[in-house]
Structure 1
Amino acid sequence: MLLCAALASGPGSAAAETAPGKLAEMTKGHSVTETILTRADSGSTVDLRVGERLLVRLEESPTTGFAWTREGGNDALVEQDSDFAPASAGLGGGGLRSFLFMAEKAGVVQLRLRLWRTWEGDSSIVEVFTATARIHAK
């Protein structure tokens, strides 16, 4: 489900309301356009303008040792922050991993995130999230 929201009006998805984490606090009250992607959007293409944000929210259960990380990086779509918000107050449960990216310059970016145990290497990858960001000048 691809959602666009103006941050001045608050988070744009139910997931954002149930597990906001510190990223929601960072963006609270700012009137910046933000595009939100979830697991269902893997493989999609999004259009952004320079200065807009991309927020990717993916389910994660850190106690299993598996964590989402970005492969590579570039200067067109810059990772601003990553945060985990537990689904409940109990220990050991899952929640949402949020990645906040800023569109810094025009270009086409292939975003790739993988769910894996970093210390076990590529053979431990259990899921890959991909998206193409077409970043346009303001």
Structure 2
Amino acid sequence: MPAVTLTEANNGQVIAIRRGDVIDLQLHENPTTGFRWQVVRSDGLIEEPAADHERPPRAPEQNPQFGAGGIRTLRFRARAPGTGRLELKLWREFEGESSVVKRFASDITITD
């Protein structure tokens, strides 16, 4: 089953996939600050376990920095034909809705 990789560059776009296809959504995140991406809406998609958080690659001479941000990958599988929307927000859940600093949204078209 084909995989489609989406990033913040795909925010606001319409994405066409087939039933059973996988979407790997890769978003910048720094969980040590308390800000995490959360799925708000995922019409027609099933969220699946994926590699949670990876630090970006560094040159060998650089030391990894504790608390540095990285990329969070969220994986979704298209379950049925139709149209829907994928929405996420980057926030501190313990601070509530006023802490949202970014949003991601994409319209999804799923065909057979």
Q: What's the C-alpha RMSD, in Å, of the aligned pairs?
A: 1.3
Counterpart of 2:102 (choices 127, 131, 134) is 127
- 2:61 paired residue number: none
> Which runs of structure 1 show a deviation greater than 4 angstroms over 4 or more consecutive aligned residues?
none
- 2:47 paired residue number: 79
Indicate if the aligned counterparts of 1:67 and 1:117 stay in contact, CA closer than 8 A.
yes
Q: Does 1:46 align with 2:15?
A: yes
- More relative contact order, 1 or 2 (CA 8 Å, 6+ apart): 2
Q: Which structure 1 residue ranges, 5 or more long, are not aligned?
A: 1-31
Deviation (angstroms), 1:64: 1.1
The alignment's TM-score, normalised by the length of structure 2, stands at 0.87
Secondary structure at the aligned position of 1:40 is classed as helix
Deviation (angstroms), 1:95: 0.3
- 1:57 paired residue number: 26
Q: Which structure 2 residue ranges, 5 or more long, are not aligned?
A: 58-63
Aligned letter for 1:38?
Answer: T
Calculate percent identity across the aligned residue pairs.
34
Size of the aligned set, in residue pairs, is: 105
Q: Does 1:107 align with 2:82?
A: yes
Secondary structure at the aligned position of 2:9 is classed as helix
Greater percentage in strand: 2
The alignment's TM-score, normalised by the length of structure 1, stands at 0.72
